[in-house]
Amino acid sequence: MNLLNKAYLRAKKIKLIIFDVDGVLTDGGLFFSDEGIELKRFNSLDGLGIKLLNEYGVEPAIISARKSPNVAHRMNNLKIKHFYQGQSDKLIAYNDLLEKLSLNADQVAYVGDDIIDLPVMRQVGLPIAVANAHDLVKENACIITDKKGGHGAVREVCDFILKAQDNYETAMAKYLV
């Protein structure tokens, strides 16, 4: 991960992390059955990273432009309470989250991959791009992951925030018994 000292300092303040879905939690590929059923592939490493962040006080949220039942199923599985689908204007959901959780922009991280993510990324305290993001998204990010979306980029971000907030060692200790 391209680490900047200012990104590490910003990560210390994060209370909410927002993820895009397609291209971030998935590799961006869309699979359709002959019946038109949409399928997506999620990375289990990312899922555990999200659960760990939540356990250590960083609330996860999803804002997706697309609407998909299988995404809703995955978010339910991860116990993500703040989940917005069909959001062509992601700023509306973002502002709703700030108000609902009584947070300011400096306390929010956003992980995106495409230009539809830029309006929110340009508002938050810690904008993050996955390795396979559009160039303009990378130019507007404080962090660019080493891993691609759907291939562990989210876990990379989760571990980075846990480390910045001095929770990584504690989070890992229970697995090293």
Q: Is 49 exposed, middle or buried (0-12, 13-18, 19+ CB in 10 A)?
A: buried
119 three-class SS: helix
Q: Which residues contact 95 (CB under 8 A, 6 or more apart)?
A: none
Q: How many CA atoms lie within 13 A of 163 on its CB side?
A: 10
- With tokens 């929770």, the residue in question is 167
Cα 58 from Cα 167, distance rounded (Å): 11
Q: Are strands 31-32 and 38-39 parallel, antiparallel or unpaired?
A: antiparallel
Task: Please list the pLDDT of the chain residue by residue as tens digits (177 residues).
Answer: 555 578 999 999 999 999 999 999 999 877 788 888 877 888 999 999 999 999 999 999 999 998 888 888 899 999 999 999 999 999 999 999 999 999 999 999 999 999 999 999 999 999 999 999 999 999 999 999 999 999 999 999 999 999 999 999 999 998 998
Q: Which residues contact 61 (CB under 8 A, 6 or more apart)?
A: 16, 17, 18, 19, 80, 81, 82, 83, 84, 97
Q: Greatest CA separation found in the chain?
A: 49
Which phi and psi angles does 38 have, rounded to 5°?
A: -85, 135
- With tokens 């991960």, the residue in question is 1
pLDDT at 96: 97
pLDDT at 35: 87
Determine the residue type at 2: N
pLDDT at 145: 97
Q: Is the pTM value of this prediction over 0.75?
A: yes
pLDDT at 3: 52
